[in-house]
Amino acid sequence: MSLLSGPPTVVAAGVDVFSAALRAQGADVHDVDWRPPGFGDPADLAALALDRRRAAANRTAVERVMAAGSRLVDVRPAREVLGLPDRTLLHSGPPLTWEMASGPMRGALIGACLFEGWATTVAEAEGLLASGGIALDPCHHHRAVGPMAGVTSPSMWMWCLEDPVSGGQAFCNLNEGLGKVLRYGAYSDEVLDRLRWMRDVLGPVLAAAVRAMADPLDVKGVLAQMLQMGDEGHNRNRAGSLMTLRELSPAVVEVDAPSSDIAAALRFIGGNEHFFLNLGMPTAKLAMDAARDVPGSTMVTVMSRNGTEFGIRTAGTGDRWFTGPADTPVGLFLGDYGPDDANPDIGDSAIMETYGVGGFTMAAAPAIVRFVGGTVPDALATTERMYQLTLAENPAMQVPILGFRGSPTGIDVLAVARTGWLPQINTGMAGRVAGTGQVGAGLVQPPRECFEQALAALAAEARTA
Amino acid sequence: MSASPPPTGLRHVSLRSGVYADSVRLMQVSRDVGARDGVTAVLVAMATPLNLELAAGMGLSPGDGTSPDRLLVAIAAVDDDALAAAVAAVDAALAARERAAGPAQAVPLRTVGAGLDALPTDGPALAIVSVPGRYAVAEAADAIAAGRSVLVFSDGVPVEHEVALKRAAHDAGVLVMGPDCGTAIVSGLALGFANVVRRGPVGLVAASGTGAQQVSCLLDTAGVGVSHVLGVGGRDLSEAVGGLGTLDALAALDADPATERVLLVSKPPAPSVAEEVRAASEGLSVPVRSAALSPGSPDLTAAVEALLADMGVAVPSWPSRSTTRPAAQGAVLKGLYAGGTLADEAMLLAAPVLGDVRSNTPLRPELGSVVDPSAPDLSASGHVVIDFGDDALTVGRAHPMIDPTLRLEALARVAASGEPAVVLMDVVLGHGAGPDPAATLAPALQAAGLPAVVALIGTEADPQGWSRQADALAAAGAAVFASNAAATRHALDLLGAAR
């Protein structure tokens, strides 16, 4: 037994009565700054700590996340990709009704109805949505993700990504750019005109280009590279967007379309520093979907918000959502918008943190930490803290300033409860009032309730297993 | 646009070339300057179409000459001074250098798992868990999952947690020492309450902390050292736990090249468990001797003497200072113990001589009925032995080996009661114990004026020094013995002489 092979290094948790005595003997003692768990019934914490399936299940879940790849294989309209019935709209976050929808979510749903021609006026769209004339369904129920409101309608084009390892698929709509855009709840003519152009010009050009590429774009590879170029993959996608432009450009140029359309498409991609986000998100989704349904695993597979509620899912609890009221981000505002203008947290983009990048790799993108008036050491500390919430380090996603340490990957519900620390998410902020658009960007955390419910459910499942 | 009214008053709108800052930095400047008194609106941003639209919405359009690579500074303020100050603040903010990134602030490690994860070593490592009992299981499980052994000092750990942890540890090839394990020595490193004893060939498996201390100190006095002292927790040999820790500790010592003999120190095990441990012991290559305290079995000192005989080592005369006051006629035994096993041993030796001995940890349940464990009241007449280290008496206070207050109060009450008595006490030295127990006990014994016998458990090498403590206690009139059994017999002799 290795314990008896020499004087041991000691890690001590609890009262430090004996640490001084150990040090007086010349022992190498490391005190843990232990605190009572942040939440959770002690019996539930014990049931999970002792669940004999847990270690292997979490290992399996982590291995699947790590192994998953991501190839861009197609661009197709949502109607074809998802087999969406007519008059169905996808949205971000856990399930939602029109009654509970926030301003920006309503704005985006209204805009989508106008865009699809299901209504010709805002009032008509509101009436249609309020009467239940439009079916609403979470993106996550369709292997899809969408940033902010995440509203995806049948005529919108979607990135189609495939995991070559598991054969899994994931989908995401195309990024519209910043400012007044549908995903932030804006639905003015400018917004709808852009969506029509994306439908009629950008989508077909991208589809033709992607299908013509000899080697499908390795999106996971782009994500790995951008972390080494100052991006964190959620609020900062500059390098990733430029690399995507570089990779797509030759194929785009060769598409049989008017050169003005080609130029417009390239200008649009080059002018949108978040263009990559809608490729990064389904890449993370592919990885997290690979870890679905691993009984005994306490790993979080989805974190997502619909502007009203925050919802999570875990590998060990199947398709159940654990929800709580979404918090409002703290950060910086565009123009003279202020905190009162911000809507509560919204979007499927927290899939990036679920995958271990975004807020979790804050240390890779020091610029982002200024969103909360922080410093570079703050960014390093945030990432260091996330290592204690997660099950593994992803060697594919490295943080240069931490000595190329892998990103903290696989949020462990049990670790969240024990540390009392919540995952750190970087996010955009939508205006509270429908039609406003983006008002800022900042940082947010999930409500504790989500993790409390998940912990209780995982413990209940462990007891019956 | 947001709800704020269009800015009124004075305006500054300028476009600057050759200035670039990250949009986040500019948002931060806008926010900081906008928070100044007298400033009604600020937009400091690159003059992109989006930002120009925002500026227009604020009534601060720059007019011609815009370009995305020019910096727009647009400010509205209520008067000249506020405006000038705001412009100056923008200039200062843009010119300011952020302080260089220092090292990351230290992020506290919150769990044993995180602590072990952060260790730079692949060498032997051990976790010590002393968090409240109901939370100990997660910390201990972290260690097992990391392939590390763990000493659980916490008490109040549910027995089902203990069983589950020990099963998991067995599967992982590591040891769980405890729960409620206060004493261990691993490769010479004393963990918790343990004495400074020489290294040597004897491995101890201890379901009793003070029992292990007594045994290891006597061996040291005889010139025999220990390889390791592995505590397994007081419940390990119960039916419920089934000796899981003992069996694994025996196997570990059997595999350890430094261990040539094993002594198993415990209170009486459950019969089925005793049989299993005996059978397992016979299968080992090292000889195992058991020192299990029970009526009629050898006391700990006798067990040590038997082990020394096995090894062909001469039994020394155990150190003592044997002069004390004579007992008054009709005196009774008042045992004030810090160590549970030592209290048990005293009662086992005293009962055949004195008859029933009442206790908060009695030999038979009915003998505990007169002693309220939550209020240790020695005013109950007759022979009484109290274990002040019992869990019920240590809630919310330090162990009596660290904090002597309760015992000293009890001593004073015995003296004040007027009942003729012989006081029998243990004083445990070593790591974790008080720095100079005699300093408080000697005056208290002097003041009590009663015949007193002290079992002084320790070695010369202990920080407190056996002889130094013994001399101080002897000077206060107490008889002092390195062997608890010898101390108890001396107290019984004093009582017998007084009959």
Q: Quick check: B236 pLDDT over 70?
A: yes
pLDDT at residue B465 is higher than 50: yes
The answer to whether the Cβ–Cβ distance between A370 and B25 falls below 8 Å is yes
- Least confident among A365-369, B18-22, B169-173, B354-358: B18-22
Q: Which residue has the tokens 């019969």?
A: B271
CA dist A448 and A457 (Å) reads: 14
Query: From the CA of A234, how many Å to the nearest CA of chain B?
Result: 14
End-to-end CA distance of chain A: 32
Indicate the range of A244-248, A315-319, B332-336, B398-402 predicted with least confidence. B398-402
pLDDT given at position B371: 56
Beta-carbon separation of B54 and A375 below 8 A = no
Would you give the DSSP letter of residue A20?
Answer: H
Q: Residue B334 is encoded by which pair of tokens?
A: 């008042």
Which residues in chain A are closer than 8 Å to B53, comparing Cβ atoms?
A: 179
Q: How far apart are CA A448 and CA A453, in angstroms?
A: 9
Is B23 a residue whose pLDDT tops 90?
no
Domain boundaries, chain B: 10-95, 124-311, 320-497
- Which residues on B lie below 8 Å from A15 (Cβ)? 130
Query: Taking residues B11-36, what's their average pLDDT?
Result: 83
Question: In whole numbers, what is the pLDDT of chain B averaged over residues?
Answer: 89
Closest partner CB to B107 (pick from A178, A385, A418): A385
Residue B110 is nearest to which of A5, A34, A45, comparing CB atoms? A34
Contact A329, A345 (CB under 8 A): yes
- B10-95: CATH class: alpha beta
Residue B89: which of B48, B44, B45 has the closest Cα? B44
Structure tokens at B65: 């000459």
> Quick one: closest CA in A to B166, which residue?
A50
Q: What are phi and psi of A160, to 5 degrees?
A: -115, 115
Closest CA to A77 of A3, A162, A173: A173
pLDDT at B144 over 90: yes
Residue A16 scores a pLDDT above 80: no
Interface of B with A in 386-415 (CB under 8 A): 402
Name chain A contacts of B431, Cβ cutoff 8 Å. 18, 21, 24-25
Residue B255 vs residue B29, higher pLDDT: B255
Which positions in chain A touch B57 (Cβ < 8 Å)? Answer: 335
Give the containing element (helix H, strand E) for A30: strand A29-32
Max CA distance (Å), chain A: 81
Residue A418 has its nearest CB partner, among B28, B103, B110, at B110
Cα-based distances in Å from B488 to A96, B381, B454, B492 = 76, 19, 9, 6
Contact yes or no for B243/B268 (Cβ under 8 A): no
Task: Using a pLDDT cut of 70, give the percent of chain B over it.
Answer: 94
| A33, closest residue in chain B (CA to CA) | B110
What pLDDT is stored for residue B297 in this prediction? Answer: 86
Put simply, the answer to whether B4 touches A338 (Cβ < 8 Å) is: yes
Q: For residue A177, give how far its alpha carbon lies from the nearest alpha carbon of chain B (Å).
A: 11
Q: What is the pLDDT of residue B1?
A: 39
pLDDT at B96: 73
Per-residue pLDDT at B3:
41
The verdict on a CB contact (< 8 Å) between B111 and A179 is no
Which of A338-347, B95-104, B178-187, B459-468 bottoms out in mean pLDDT, i.e. has the lowest? B95-104
A280 or B43, higher pLDDT: A280
CB contact under 8 A, B187 and A421: no
Tokens for B121, please give them. Answer: 């070593």
CB A321 within 8 A of CB A355: no
How large is the average pLDDT for residues A158-168?
A: 96
Position B106 scores a pLDDT of 79
CA B473 to chain A, closest CA, distance in angstroms equals 25
CATH assignment of B124-311?
3.40.50.261
Q: What one-character DSSP code corresponds to residue A17?
A: T
Shortest Cα distance, chain B CAs vs residue A169, angstroms: 34
| pLDDT tens per residue across span A167-198 | 999 999 999 998 889 999 999 999 999 999 99
Considering CB atoms only, which of A17, A34, A336 is closest to B131? A34
The rounded distance, in Å, linking the Cα atoms of A78 and A143 is: 12
| Nearest-angstrom CA–CA distance, A261 and A247 | 18
| A111, A115, A116, A120: CA torsion to nearest 10 | 80
Please give, rounded to a whole number of angstroms, the shortest distance from the CA of B189 to a CA of chain A: 6
Q: Do B114 and A421 touch (CB under 8 A)?
A: no
Cβ burial, residue B364 (10 Å; 0-12/13-18/19+): exposed
Give the one of B58, B118, B189 whose C-beta lies nearest to A7's C-beta: B189
Would you say the C-alpha torsion A136, A139, A142, A144 has a positive or negative sign?
positive
CA dist list (Å): B125 to A27, B171, B188, B297, B439: 11, 18, 14, 37, 37
In b/e form, how buried is each residue of A250-288, taking b as 16+ CB within 10 angstroms? Answer: ebbeebebeeebbebbbebbeebbbbbbbbbbbbbbbbb
**Selected residue of B20, B23, B24, B204 to mutate for chain A interface (largest A Cβ count, 10 A):** B24
Same fold, B10-95 and B320-497: no
Task: Kindly report which listed range (A404-418, B18-32, B212-226, B473-487) carries the lowest average pLDDT score.
Answer: B18-32
In angstroms, rounded to a whole number, what is the distance separating the alpha carbons of residues A279 and B485? 77
Which of A3, A17, A41, A48 to probe the B interface (max B CBs under 10 A)? A3
Chain A's closest residue to B149, CA to CA, is: A3
> Cis (ω within 30 of 0) for the bond into B132?
no
Q: How confident is the model at residue A10 (pLDDT cuts 50, 70, 90)?
A: very high
Of residues A311 and B80, more confidently modeled: A311
| B53 and A CB contact within 8 Å | yes
- Is B269 in contact with B286 (CB distance < 8 Å)? no
Measured CA angle at B327 (ends B322, B332), to 5 deg: 115
Between CA A42 and CA B158 the distance in angstroms is 11
Residue B492: pLDDT band by 50, 70, 90 thresholds?
very high
Most confident range, picked from A302-306, B319-323, B388-392: A302-306
Phi, psi of A453 (to 5 degrees): -65, -40
Q: Is A438 exposed, middle or buried (0-12, 13-18, 19+ CB in 10 A)?
A: buried
pLDDT digits (tens, 9 = 90+) for A78-123: 999 998 888 999 999 999 999 999 999 999 999 999 999 999 999 9
Chain A interface test: which of B99, B130, B253 (most A C-beta within 10 Å): B130
Query: Looking at chain B, which residue has its C-alpha nearest residue A53?
Result: B168
DSSP A256: S
pLDDT of residue A371: 67
| β-strand pairing of B176-177 with B149-152 | parallel
Q: For chains A and B, what is the number of CB pairs under 8 angstroms? A: 248
Check CB contact under 8 Å for B125 and A9: yes
CB-closest option in A4, A337, A340 to B228: A4
> Which whole number is the average pLDDT over B299-324?
95
**Residue of chain A with shortest Cα separation from B25:** A370
- For residue B38, how many other CB atoms are within 10 A of its CB? 16
Domain B320-497, CATH 3.40.50.261 — does that match? yes
- Model confidence pLDDT, tens digit, residues B107-138: 899 999 999 998 877 789 999 999 999 999 99
pLDDT at position A373 over 70: no
- How near does any CA of chain A get to the CA of B165, in Å? 7
Residues B53, B67: Cα–Cα separation, whole Å: 13
pLDDT digits (tens, 9 = 90+) for A341-368: 999 999 999 999 999 999 999 889 987 7
Share the mean pLDDT of chain A. Answer: 94
Q: What is the pLDDT of residues A247-256, one digit of tens each?
A: 999 999 999 9
Contact predicate B150/A459, CB 8 Å: no
In angstroms, what separates the C-alpha of B242 from chain A's closest C-alpha? Answer: 19
Shortest CA distance to B178 belongs to which of B215, B147, B133, B213? B133
> Helices in B68-187 by DSSP H: which ranges?
80-95, 112-117, 133-145, 159-172
pLDDT for residue B383 is more than 90:
yes
Residue among B54, B105, B186 minimizing CB distance to A377: B105
Q: Which domains does chain A have, with CATH numbers?
A: 2-34 (no CATH), 54-65+291-464 (3.90.1700.10), 69-281 (3.90.1710.10)
Question: In whole angstroms, what is the distance from residue A111 CA to residue A121 CA?
Answer: 10
User: How many residues are recorded in chain B?
Assistant: 499
Chain B residues whose CB is inside 8 A of the A1 CB are 149, 173-175, 252, 255-256
**B111 vs A50, A55, A419: nearest CB:** A419
> In whole angstroms, what is the distance from residue A200 CA to residue A182 CA?
17
Q: In the predicted model, is pLDDT for residue A209 greater than 90?
A: yes
**B226-231 and B320-321 beta bridge pairing:** unpaired
Identify the residue with better confidence: B4 or A432.
A432
- Asked if B168 has any chain A CB less than 8 Å from its own CB, the reply is yes
Q: Identify the helix (H) or strand (E) that includes residue A409.
A: strand A405-411
B255 contacts in chain A (CB < 8 Å): 1, 4
For residues B343 and B385, the answer to whether their CB atoms sit within 8 Å is yes
Task: Kindly list the residues from chain B whose CB atom is less than 8 angstroms away from the CB atom of residue A7.
Answer: 124, 186-189
Structure tokens at B131: 């968090």
ipTM of the complex: 0.89
Query: What's the confidence (pLDDT) of residue B98?
Result: 53
User: Hey, what are B360's tokens?
Assistant: 């908060």
Under 8 Å between Cβ of A181 and A143: no
The span from the CA of B316 to the CA of A70, in Å, is: 76
B174 CB neighbours in chain A (<8 A) are 1, 3
> With an 8 Å Cβ cutoff, is B257 touching chain A?
no
CB of B201 less than 8 A from some CB of A: no
Q: Among partner residues B25, B57, B258, which is closest to A335 by beta-carbon distance? A: B57
Residues 91-150 of B with CB under 8 A from A: 98-99, 101-105, 107-119, 121, 123-132, 134-135, 137-139, 141, 143, 145, 148-149
Asked if B123 and A9 come within 8 Å (Cβ–Cβ), the reply is yes
Q: Among A75-79, B4-8, B91-95, which stretch is predicted with the lowest mean pLDDT? A: B4-8
pLDDT band of residue B491 (cuts 50, 70, 90) is very high
Q: What is the CA radius of gyration of chain A?
A: 23
Task: Give the pLDDT confidence score for residue A17 in this predicted structure.
Answer: 67
The pLDDT of residue B168 is above 90: yes
Query: B110 and A33 in contact by Cβ < 8 A?
Result: yes
